[in-house]
């Protein structure tokens, strides 16, 4: 119980698990026994992706969270993803393996400051990226992901004035491809901001035939040298369909696991960040999740995501609009 109390306070558990425990088998057993759906983001470690029921980007995970029949959702990603699952499923228990798995991008946009920013731009509709807190979603008109952002923005009448937040790199990219002039919040993801154009070009000299694939959260100079720009799901799809055999991938390195699984005959190289000797770029928040923590969170059914009901209802509407529009987009 002491360990449980420590976990309550810190979101972190230090319980000693017996060495002989087969974590994978135990997790699969508990998952079945408790009717749990394990949803994992593409940026999770390979061992977590391998025990997940569903792997996807933010949009796919939000769709699955809305439709799953399981009693419990265990969200292996970062906290705002658990919040999104709870906003969509207030009646279900939503667990995240580590409460400390935050997001530098979501943290770069505190709700009170964002509200002041909105007030400074009256008569603007507010479009926010899904990487935000529930409180920011609650003051947005619509939420988008990198998969559906351009489609949703293009659906606003051309004369409609828009605010976009929190990612300025994604916002700049969206302005360039949609021809809009959205007012941008000055936020960024520390992982995607770190890619180095010089190091990528240096790497390309040794594999000149490699295609550079970049996520739109990267800075403009990286996007300018990319052969393809897209969400993690779009990058994955491009790599599967491409005849090319070599790819330099400028997004969080966790996606390489699924790319290699889907195309075992192809060569995927993580794009190097500017401050690393290991050559790849990992999100330390995403990587806080471990099999040990997943196992313990299934035993204790903790830590759970809880959201005030008034806030949840407000945050639900812009997510619902997004899911409805992205469904329409698929049918058109």
Give least dist CB 57 to ligand SF4, A. 10
- In 220-268, where does DSSP find H-type helix? 220-224, 232-241, 255-262
What is the C-alpha separation between 75 and 275, in angstroms, rounded? Answer: 30
Nearer to ligand SF4, 68 or 131 (CB): 131
What is the C-alpha separation between 207 and 15, in angstroms, rounded? Answer: 46
Give least dist CB 85 to ligand SF4, A. 15
Give the full edge-to-edge strand order of the sheet including 36-41.
Answer: 54-56, 36-41, 72-76, 93-95
Q: Based on DSSP, count helices (H) and strands (E) in the chain, helices before strands.
A: 16, 12
Give least dist CB 131 to ligand SF4, A. 5
Q: Of 61, 53, 100, 56, nearest to 79 (Cα)? A: 100
Give least dist CB 61 to ligand SF4, A. 12
What is the C-alpha separation between 54 and 40, in angstroms, rounded? Answer: 6
Nearer to ligand SF4, 49 or 70 (CB): 49
Give least dist CB 166 to ligand SF4, A. 10
Strands 183-184 and 246-250: unpaired
Compute the radius of gyration of the chain from its Cα atoms: 20
Is 195:252 a contact under the CB 8 Å cutoff? no
What is the C-alpha separation between 17 and 26, in angstroms, rounded? Answer: 12
Nearer to ligand SF4, 70 or 281 (CB): 281
Give least dist CB 42 to ligand SF4, A. 10
Structure tokens at 37: 């759906």
Give least dist CB 241 to ligand SF4, A. 25
Nearer to ligand SF4, 104 or 128 (CB): 104
Q: Which residues bind ligand SF4 (CB under 6 A)?
A: 78, 103-105, 131, 189-191, 252, 283, 285-286
Nearer to ligand SF4, 89 or 131 (CB): 131
Nearer to ligand SF4, 70 or 231 (CB): 231
Nearer to ligand SF4, 43 or 117 (CB): 43
């Amino acid at each position: 119980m002491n360990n449980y109390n420590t976990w309550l306070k810190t979101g972190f558990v230090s319980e000693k698990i017996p060495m002989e425990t087969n974590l994978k088998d135990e997790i699969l057993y508990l998952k079945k026994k408790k009717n749990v759906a394990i949803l994992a983001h593409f940026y999770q470690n390979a061992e977590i992706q391998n025990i997940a029921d569903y792997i996807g980007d933010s949009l796919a995970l939000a769709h699955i969270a809305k439709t799953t029949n399981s009693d419990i959702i265990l969200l292996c990603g970062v906290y705002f993803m658990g919040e999104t699952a709870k906003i969509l499923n207030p009646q279900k228990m939503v667990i995240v393996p580590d409460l400390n798995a935050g997001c530098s991008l979501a943290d770069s946009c505190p709700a009170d400051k964002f509200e002041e920013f909105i007030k400074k731009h009256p008569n603007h509709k507010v479009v926010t990226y899904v990487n935000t807190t529930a409180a920011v979603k609650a003051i947005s008109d619509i939420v988008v992901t990198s998969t559906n952002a351009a489609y949703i923005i293009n659906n606003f009448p051309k004369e409609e004035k828009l605010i976009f937040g929190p990612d300025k790199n994604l916002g700049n990219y969206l302005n360039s491809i949609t021809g809009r002039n959205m007012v941008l919040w000055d936020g960024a993801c520390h992982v995607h901001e770190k890619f180095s154009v010089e190091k990528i070009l240096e790497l390309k000299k040794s594999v000149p035939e490699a295609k550079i694939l970049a996520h739109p959260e990267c800075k403009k100079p990286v996007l300018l040298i990319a052969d393809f720009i897209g969400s993690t799901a779009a990058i994955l799809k491009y790599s599967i369909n491409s005849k090319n055999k070599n790819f330099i991938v400028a997004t969080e390195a966790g996606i390489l696991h699924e790319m290699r699984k889907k195309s075992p005959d192809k060569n995927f190289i993580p794009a190097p960040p500017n401050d690393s000797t290991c050559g790849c770029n990992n999100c330390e928040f995403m990587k806080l999740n471990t099999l040990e923590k997943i196992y313990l969170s299934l035993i204790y059914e903790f830590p759970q995501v809880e959201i005030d009901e008034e806030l949840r209802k407000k945050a639900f509407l812009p997510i619902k609009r997004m899911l409805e529009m992205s469904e329409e987009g698929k049918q058109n």
